[in-house]
Amino acid sequence: MSTTVAERRIAVAAQRKHSLHRSRMWALWGSYIALSVFVVMFLVPPFYTLMTSLKSSAEISAQTGSPWLVRHPTLENFWYLITYPNFQRYYLNSIIVTILTVVVSMVISVLAAFSLSRMGFWGSQTLSTGVFLTYLVPPSLLFIPLFQIIGQIGLINNFWCLVLLYPTLAVPFCTWIMIGYFSSIPKELDEAALIDGAGYLQMLWKIFIPVAMPGIIAATIFAFTVSWGAFLYPLAYLYTSNQMVLTVGIISDLIRGDVFQWGKIMAACLLASLPPIVIYAFLMDYYVAGLTAGATKG
Amino acid sequence: MADGTSVPIDVIAPARVRARRNTMQRFAQRRSTTGFLLCLPLILLIAAFVIYPAFYAIYLSMLNKKMTAFVGLGNFQFLLKRHTFQLVIFQSCLFAVTSVVLKAVIGFILAHLMHNIPGKNQRIWRGLLLVPWVIPLALSTLTWWWMFDPSYSAFNWVLNQFGIANVPWLGVGWTARFCTIAVNVWYGTPFFMIMYLAALKSVPEQLYEAAAIDGANTIQKLFFVTLPMMRNIIAITVLFSLIVTFADFDIVRILTAGGPQDMTHVFATYAFQIGIQSGDIPLGAADSLFMFPILAFAAFFVLRGVTRRTKEIAA
């Protein structure tokens, strides 16, 4: 009698385990299917960009059959852009502006974060809060007074104004990320360095920067993203093609009146999105870690 | 703030104590001076290009169009009476609230789906889902514009295959509004997903086990374990996104430039149109300043959430 009860119990337990396993499997497959649906929806625009960029103007305007597929793939759009002086100019301007913005932003924010996380001075707490609040100021709030100010400095229609303005968008968040990373470095390390006779800058250079490298990478990617993709400032402050950067250059150059050269526009979008995509493909983990740490830590 | 540098003074000979204290003081002073100097570039940058422009905006908004006379709050009154501006207020709020709610809900679902699948596969799926967020928004909006194009619309082709008539995507007010929101949701959802995924991962597994032992089902676990544990991050992400979405410029500017009949204008695009394109700088400045109260409101709560979160982690 007792053995049968025990057996039954074991059988029930096994069955339950089995059904648990099965429901787990269902949840797993359900998740995969649902995620696939989302991935397809999310990737429709990039896919369509690629398809259009491979079409000739004749194929685009012919309008026969599905617009989602390309029948006579051609690289003529890409070739046209690569050899098109204006497009080269935009690309070069974007690269110059971005590199300078990243360097300026990182220098400013690493120095400030080092100071704010380690050397308290009068008002440093308020300054940290202030830095975070500046991060929440969107570019569209101040672009009109900045238009006047840039005009007074004489930098309207000069891409150097972007090198001045982009850091205001990048520095607050970069500083914020770096404060988080620097604060997590144990104080014993600074003490050891101070005892060994290192100065503050040596300490920053030899200890803080190497230890907080993941944070530096995350902040650099953020500064890069802001500067490469910004649209409002260049649209408002630049108007001749020798000064334009990619985001505005593509729109104002390839759209002339009512003539849309869609094949070329899409190829240009693809070429312009390439640097961010490559960077994210390799360094996504650092960026996501920095971003989520920024939100969870501070 | 000389922590870590304090030396047990009583072990040093009393004669030296004074000299030592002096150097200590000098040291502390030097430390805070260095600290201030290191922050100086940041302070100058923010003062010159954030704080000064903010006050300058208030000054500008009180001038007349030629910027020759002071008109007080005239520009604000003028804007509020204008029908177009009333549409702008309505559309900005509709755009921001609808987009943020949709992004938060879809992002939450996606985060849960991602959390279900094994860790080693998550990376590739996350990479694929983050693509919309990686492409510069101005460029991906161009693609959306091309897909909504009136004569060659790729969406209309799909609809036609199912025997549905063409939809004038960007040509009719409410459809155009829907399109701007859809593009914003497409772009912003990945950000919510990674934020919520990080938050989900930080919920201790024991809490779910304890809930399971108490007989909680999936929905109860969601409402009594997951949501309370994620409450703070949800609040921070939503409010932060509210700021960004409310101040959005790229999508509306490229997709519709405010049309049809000014029905899709938001504060930023309207300010651009009247301030930069029509050259009425004071009116444009007044228009963007209307964003300030709601941004300040959201910023206040973001800051409060962040401070609380920091304390929670420290505790």
Question: pLDDT tens across B183-202, in order?
Answer: 999 999 999 999 899 888 88
Question: In this structure, are A271 and A223 located in the same domain?
Answer: yes
Which of B41, B189, B267 comes nearest A108 by C-beta? B41
- Strands A259-260 and A255-256, bridge-based pairing: antiparallel
Angle between helices B281-289 and A139-153 (to 10 degrees): 150
Cis bond upstream, residue B118 (ω within 30): no
Ordered by start, the domain boundaries in chain B are 9-60, 74-314
Alpha-carbon gap, residue A150 to A161, rounded angstroms: 7
| Together in a domain, A26 and A168 | no
User: Number of folded domains in chain A?
Assistant: 2
Whole-angstrom Cα distance, residue A266 to residue A53?
5
Task: Indicate yes or no: CB of B35 within 8 angstroms of CB of A118.
Answer: yes
CA B168 to chain A, closest CA, distance in angstroms equals 17
Q: Label residue A197 left, alpha or beta by phi (over 0 means left) and psi (-120 to 50 means alpha).
A: left
Residues A214 and A264 in one domain: yes
Which pLDDT value is given to residue B315?
59
Do A32 and A112 have their domain in common? Answer: no
Q: Is residue A55 part of a domain?
A: no
Q: Is A104 exposed, middle or buried, given 0-12, 13-18 or 19+ CB atoms closer than 10 A?
A: buried
Helix (H, G, I), strand (E, B) or coil at A256: strand
Of B5, B31, B302, the CB nearest to A136: B302
Distance from the B277 Cα atom to the nearest Cα atom in chain A, whole angstroms:
9
In a domain, residue A50? The reply is no
In degrees and rounded to multiples of 5, residue A256 shows phi and psi of -115, 110
Indicate which CATH number applies to the domain containing A132: 1.10.3720.10
Q: Whole-model pTM?
A: 0.86
A86 or B9, greater pLDDT: A86
The SS3 of residue A135 is: helix
Q: What ipTM goes with this model?
A: 0.85
Asked if residue A222 is part of any domain, the answer here is yes
Given this model, what pLDDT does residue B7 score?
A: 45
Residues belonging to chain A: 298
pLDDT of residue B135: 92
- pLDDT reported for residue B120: 80
The type of residue at B26 is: R
Contacts of B53 by beta carbon, 8 Å cutoff, 6+ apart: A142, A145, A146, A149
State the smallest CA–CA distance between residue B79 and chain A in angstroms: 16
Residues A222, B73: Cα–Cα separation, whole Å:
39
Same domain, A117 and A39: no
Nearest to A235 by CA among B272, B135, B260: B272
> What does the pLDDT look like over A177-230, one tens digit per residue?
898 888 888 888 888 888 888 888 888 888 889 988 989 999 999 999 999 999
Q: Which residue intervals of A184-261 are DSSP H helices?
A: 187-195, 200-203, 209-211, 213-229, 232-237, 246-254
Testing the interface with A: which of B3, B42, B61 to mutate, by most A Cβ within 10 A?
Answer: B42
- Angle value at C-alpha B93, between A171 and B137, nearest 5 degrees: 45
Q: Is residue A69 part of a domain?
A: no
Please tell me the distance from the alpha carbon of residue A260 to that of residue A255, in angstroms, as a whole number: 5
Do the domain assignments include residue A157? Answer: yes
Best to test chain A binding among B59, B142, B155 (most A CBs inside 10 Å): B142
Pull the structure tokens for residue A9: 């119990």
Assess whether A85 and A228 both reside in one domain.
yes
| Class (C level, CATH) for B74-314 | mainly alpha
Q: pLDDT band at B8, cuts 50/70/90?
A: very low
Query: Which residues does chain A have with pLDDT short of 50?
Result: 1, 296-298
Residue B91 clears pLDDT 70, i.e. is over it: yes
Give domain status of residue A233, yes or no: yes
* Angstrom distance (rounded) from CA B292 to CA B309: 25
Q: Give me the domain span that covers residue A6.
A: 2-44
pLDDT of B88 over the 80 cut: yes
Give the residue among A214, A134, A222 at the shortest CA–CA distance from A182: A214
**Which one, of A215, A288, A35, A251, lies nearest residue B133 by Cα?**
A288
Q: How far apart are CA B266 and CA B176, in angstroms?
A: 13
End-to-end CA distance of chain A: 63
Phi, psi at A123, each rounded to 5°? 90, 5
The answer to whether B114 contacts A32, with C-beta atoms less than 8 Å apart, is no
Distance CA B207, CA B229 (A): 10
Is the same domain home to A231 and A131?
yes
Give me the residue from B137, B186, B275 closest to A42, CB to CB. B186
Claim to verify: residue A164 and residue A281 sit in the same structural domain: yes
> A119-123, B9-13, B202-206: which has the minimum mean pLDDT?
B9-13
Asked if residue A282 belongs to a domain, the reply is yes
Residues of A in contact with B43 (CB under 8 A): 127
Is the pLDDT at B1 greater than 60, yes or no? no
pLDDT range class, residue B51, cuts 50, 70, 90: very high
